[in-house]
Amino acid sequence: MSNLRRSAFGKFACAFALTACSLWGSHAFAQTGYQPSPENLQARREFQDMKFGMFIHWGVYSVLGDGEWVFHNRKLMIEEYNRLPLFFDPEKFDARTWVALAKSAGMKYITITSRHHDGFAMFDSKVSDWNIVARTPYKKDPLKMLADECHRQGIKLFFYYSQLDWHNPDYYPRGQTNWNNGRPDHGDWNAYLDNYMDGQLTELLTNYGPVGGIWFDGMWDKPDADWHLAKTYALIHRLQPAALIIPNHHQTPRPGEDVQTFERDLPGQNTEGFNTKYVSSQLPLESSDTLNDSWGFNIGDSKYKSAADVERRLVRAAGNNSNLLMNIGPMPNGEIQQEFVTRLHAVGEWLSKYGDSIYGTRGGPIAPGDWGVTTQKADKIYVHVLNWNAPLLALPPVTGNITSAHSLLDGAAVEFTQNVDGMVLKVPPAKIEETDRVVVLTVAKAK
Ligand code: H79
């Protein structure tokens, strides 16, 4: 989605959110009585430990270099869009390179579009021929190659799955993103959910080995529909109990859901106008964003975030007890543009020095502020000083005695005082281009 789109629907989104809240107030559509399995709870903890993931938007839309909403934005007809797969032949796609890039960036998981709102399956689906193997000259299943490679390289793989479908006639009645693209004015909604969608989810959770989870998107297109969530969620948890359900519906989580994700926002912030301010205290949290201003490959988008910007976002996410899922849109030939690669390498370089203060941590005991955030792990509190120019930093009290403080980067001792009112740190002066000054506090175990 381009920045243009985002600014255009801000107001509409608010009205939409209110309606959706009232409709979803009851848990009628969720997996009632859901008790996460031990494997699922373990997977949630592992998810929180990973902290940093790679989001990938890749589909036949990538051919046009105009983002993943191009079908809708250009109001194309079905028979016009049907030509796109004919040109999708990613001869340079190499799963090993993609997974290696994620690893070199310090990312621990990948979430890739198995199908976006165009409904086009980027995997070998028997449910419909609207898929990469049946319709493109490539004829292969990149998700299978990616899954195998992720398993080899120790990266968890999650599948993004759009519940919204602009192509299937059974997605009927159509939702608020509807336009006349040549579909008939009738369709079988139950068949769409129970056969088509659940059928594809069964394929994804059966043919690709252990899957990290399913990242749902697009339910906001029909907020008042019955999405048979209880059935779908139970199916997923039955097929792979450890697979996490991560719905991007921008609403309060419902039973059966395992992670709360926030699109282009930190948890609880709503700068985009479509996120909820409610933050679950139970579920793992995730914040998604994109490395430029588009999700799918956009040839005209050069608004790249700097490596330092990505690092700051990751630190702020961690300080808010959240993961960061950072997106790239690979090119239609299967290559990832150099602008993304250099930035991701730089972030990985940074993480090789600062990763201790991020991976495996949870949000720290001190509320995030403009100055920075804290994370914590075992007997350590990591004070991340992101935006503070004075030599002394005063912080509120924390439980337990601080026995020592040192700079993460060089291990040099950091002067501090602690009393009932809080603590004062003498922050090491910022070196040039230092994104984050991290002071490691060791807390004495309570006796
Ligand atoms: O996959 C990427 C985007 O294509 C997809 N989610 C990310 C991860 C996405 N599409 N749109 N949005 C996210 C934002 C949603 C905007 C909405 Fe609306 C505003 C939904 C409801 C109100 C636009 C206006 C769609 C319906 C009305």
What confidence tens digit (pLDDT) does each residue in 130-177 have?
Answer: 999 999 999 999 999 999 999 999 999 999 999 999 999 999 999 999
Strand partners, 325: 53, 288
- Token pair belonging to 185: 């004015």
pLDDT at 3 over 80: no
What confidence tens digit (pLDDT) does each residue in 354-412 have?
Answer: 999 999 999 999 999 999 999 999 999 999 999 999 999 999 999 999 999 999 999 99
User: 390 CA to middle of ligand 1, Å?
Assistant: 41
CA–CA distance, 214 with 256 (Å, rounded to integer): 12
- Token pair belonging to 413: 């001792």
User: 263 CA to middle of ligand 1, Å?
Assistant: 9
Nearest CA to ligand 1 atom 15: 274
Q: Give the number of other Cβ atoms within 10 Å of residue 380's Cβ.
A: 16
Q: Are 372 and 354 in contact (CB under 8 A)?
A: no
Q: How many residues does the chain have?
A: 447
Q: What's residue 124's pLDDT?
A: 98
Q: Give the number of other Cβ atoms within 10 Å of residue 89's Cβ.
A: 16
% residues pLDDT > 70 (the chain):
93
Confidence class of residue 32 from pLDDT cuts 50, 70 and 90? Answer: confident
Confidence class of residue 433 from pLDDT cuts 50, 70 and 90? Answer: confident
Confidence class of residue 29 from pLDDT cuts 50, 70 and 90? Answer: low
Q: Give the number of other Cβ atoms within 10 Å of residue 399's Cβ.
A: 7
User: 218 CA to middle of ligand 1, Å?
Assistant: 7
Q: Give the number of other Cβ atoms within 10 Å of residue 129's Cβ.
A: 10
Q: What's residue 27's pLDDT?
A: 36
Atom of ligand 1 nearest to the CA of 68: 4
Nearest CA to ligand 1 atom 13: 1
What confidence tens digit (pLDDT) does each residue in 317-367 have?
Answer: 999 999 999 999 999 999 999 999 999 999 999 999 999 999 999 999 999
Rounded to 5°, angle at Cα 40 from 35 and 44? 115
Strands 392-395 and 422-426: antiparallel
For the four alpha carbons of 419, 420, 423 and 424, in that order, the dihedral sign comes to negative
pLDDT at 52 over 70: yes
% residues pLDDT > 90 (the chain):
89
Q: What's residue 153's pLDDT?
A: 98
Q: Are 61 and 84 in contact (CB under 8 A)?
A: yes
Nearest CA to ligand 1 atom 17: 13
Q: Is 405 helix (H, G, I), strand (E, B) or coil?
A: strand
What confidence tens digit (pLDDT) does each residue in 224-266 have?
Answer: 999 999 999 999 999 999 999 999 999 999 999 999 999 999 9
Q: What's residue 33's pLDDT?
A: 86
Asked whether the whole model's pTM tops 0.85, one would answer yes
Ligand 1 neighbour 12 (Cβ under 6 A): yes
Sheet strands side by side (includes 362-363): 362-363, 372-377, 380-385, 437-443, 402-407
Who contacts 426 (Cβ-Cβ below 8 Å, separation ≥6)?
391, 392, 414, 415, 416
| Average model confidence (pLDDT) across the chain | 93
Q: What's residue 303's pLDDT?
A: 98
Atom of ligand 1 nearest to the CA of 221: 26
Ligand 1 neighbour 295 (Cβ under 6 A): yes
